[in-house]
Chains A and B, each alone.
Chain A
Amino acid sequence: MHDASLQTNLERLFNRMEERRPLTAAQKGELQRIASPPIFVPAKTDYVPEGAKPSKSSLLLTGFACRYTLMPDGRRQITAIHVPGDFVDLHSLPLEVMDHTVAALTDCQFSAADHRDLLRIISDDPDLALALWRLTLLDGALHREWIVAFAMNAVEHLAHLLCELFVRLKVVGLTEGPSFEFPVTQEVLAETLGLSPVHVNRTLQDLRANQLIAFDRGLVTILDWTGLREAGKFDAGHLHLGKHRDVAAMILAD
């Protein structure tokens, strides 16, 4: 709990929670006290399986994680990609049973908050309860946007995903200029977009050929924001940025 990296990484959560109103030092202290030391989860590993009844909720500190559902024929549909600062299964507190699996896409570090501690802080502090509730509502807003994106063609859908990831990573300070690390395979993108890996491969190369993005060993660089945003019909409204609306404005301005 006095771990320096935990401290830094909790800042990403605070950053997200403070979108609408700042947290007090006492609220941050409370969250810090209930957050466990970092738990390492290697890439491509299930962390919270479907059907489980977790006694704690997990916050992603580093790496990329996903939520997925396994279809009866064995195909995997990824329903959310999580970036550092996301409380990945906060909903398991009121819902109890996991209806999907949380897995690490890359090497990840999680911090876990015991449900009893979470229940205590939400009953003691309605403002903190509202801030945590808001995080799960934002998850819902992302899911709605992803449903809309599923009605897009492959180029639009992939462009939309890359725009969205950039803005989300920018908010938590994980972009470098126009670039961000996103070291996942074509297969993961395919499972996210509901396409075959071969079509994803073609679509990535189309975006590259049109000089909208460049990619090299897991590093994605956005070469033409206006072009990528138009290709993905992207606007950041569903991210409900308040404090960070400048991030969206900077990116979305022509």
Chain B
Amino acid sequence: MPRYFFDVQDGTGVFIDQLGTELPDDTTARAEASAALASMAKDQISRTAKSQNIAMWVRHENGEAIAVLTFSFALLSTSASPRDPVLGGTYREASGDPSSAN
């Protein structure tokens, strides 16, 4: 099985994968990258509680670039709620009159 390398850049810096992971093919490598990015993002965001971008690059052992994955998280300090027209008024109480939100 070929070895794939998964480099990551996140709020803590750049991680260059030196070990790699043996996987059957590129499709599996992309699926594994997605699962790994999701769980890394979960750990990272719950720990730091701040906006950040996470990116992952997947390399085949032969040097070929297989995929780039990105994850973007925003934590905004605002008093606006989904009921606030500033956010586009996309939220309405189901039973309410839409115009009353203004």
Contact = CB atoms under 8 A, between A and B. Distances in A.
Nearest to B34: A196
A197 B8 CA distance: 15
Interface string A3-16: 00000000000000
A198 B36 contact: yes
Interface residues of A, number: 14
Contacts, number: 46
Interface in A28-69: none
A195 B21 CA distance: 13
Nearest to B18: A205
B47 A198 contact: no
A154 interface: yes
A53 B41 CA distance: 43
B47 A201 contact: no
A108 B12 CA distance: 41
B43 A201 contact: no
A153 interface: yes
A205 B46 CA distance: 20
A201 to B, nearest CB: 5
B36 A196 contact: yes
A56 B36 CA distance: 41
Nearest to B35: A196
Contact of A155 (B6, B35, B42, B43): B43
Interface residues of B, number: 19
Contacts of A197: 21, 23, 32
B43 A154 contact: yes
Interface in B1-46: 6, 8, 15, 17-21, 23, 32-33, 35-36, 39-40, 42-43, 46
Contact of B21 (A153, A154, A201, A206): A201
A196 B42 CA distance: 13
Contacts of B20: 201
Nearest to B4: A198
A204 B20 CA distance: 11
Given A153-B46, A153-B47, A199 B19 contact: no
A202 B23 CA distance: 15
Contacts of A154: 39-40, 43
Contact of B6 (A153, A201, A204, A206): A201
A21 B47 CA distance: 44
A249 to B, nearest CB: 31
Given A153-B43, A198-B35, A199-B39, 18 more contacts: A153-B42, A153-B46, A153-B47, A155-B43, A195-B36, A196-B32, A196-B39, A197-B23, A198-B6, A198-B21, A199-B40, A201-B6, A201-B17, A201-B19, A202-B17, A202-B40, A205-B17, A205-B18
20 contacts: A153-B42, A153-B47, A154-B43, A155-B43, A196-B35, A198-B6, A198-B21, A198-B35, A198-B36, A199-B39, A201-B20, A201-B21, A202-B8, A202-B15, A202-B17, A202-B36, A204-B19, A205-B15, A205-B18, A206-B15
